[in-house]
Structure 1
């Protein structure tokens, strides 16, 4: 596998992991009533997802240009990791909103 592909794949894993971690921290902060921190952690998670998407876009562009890549278990894992992180971040946003509404009552 080419080095540029490995870097992109590792970017998916790393930034996806960062996003999921920040989203989890956002939920914990909201649970404690610290909505300023929760909002910051959600912003951090979103920023990490943007970076992950940049890595993904590079791989997709390469494929679209006819430079096909061998799909390995690492590639599949990276994509799965990213998709899980996106779903988890979306759920974290909803949970922070729920905690905010509970706190307002």
Structure 2
């Protein structure tokens, strides 16, 4: 893929990952308020959003595995950090929601 394609994909990963992370944090806040079902729905929506970012990453990996050379940039690396962070926050949000539900 050329540099522009990598640039575009990087920003798509950053945007979807950031949105998913924000939604997961909102889900935690909802659970803290005792709104467990709303929190679970928000987390489900966050998972849908993180899957968009993950799909872009998978496409990059697949193209490289098929022999296509991809330009690696600092922005692409940064997007991977966002994706990993988003995935971690989503996992932790699920645990927090479970804990808040038990406390309720």
Same fold, TM exceeding 0.5?
yes
Mean alpha-carbon deviation: is it higher for 88-97 or for 67-76? 67-76
Q: Secondary structure at the match of 2:53?
A: helix
* 1:38-62 C-alpha deviation (Å, 9 max, x unpaired): 0111001110111111110111111
Q: Secondary structure at the match of 2:15?
A: helix
Structure 2 match to 1:82? 83
Deviation at 1:37, TM superposition (A): 1.4
User: What is the rounded CA distance, in whole Å, between the counterparts of 1:10 and 1:63 in structure 2?
Assistant: 19
Structure 2 match to 1:34? 35
User: What is the rounded CA distance, in whole Å, between the counterparts of 2:72 and 2:37 in structure 1?
Assistant: 41
Contact 2:6/2:76 (8 A) holds in 1: no
Deviation at 1:77, TM superposition (A): 0.3
Contact 1:22/1:45 (8 A) holds in 2: yes
User: What is the rounded CA distance, in whole Å, between the counterparts of 2:35 and 2:24 in structure 1?
Assistant: 14
Q: Secondary structure at the match of 1:67?
A: coil
TM-score, normalising length: structure 2? 0.93
TM-score, normalising length: structure 1? 0.92
User: What is the rounded CA distance, in whole Å, between the counterparts of 1:89 and 1:30 in structure 2?
Assistant: 14
Q: What is the RMSD computed on CA atoms of the aligned residues?
A: 1.1
Identify unmatched segments of 5+ residues in structure 1: none
Contact 1:8/1:58 (8 A) holds in 2: no
Structure 2 match to 1:48? 49
Number of matched pairs: 103
Structure 1 match to 2:9? 8
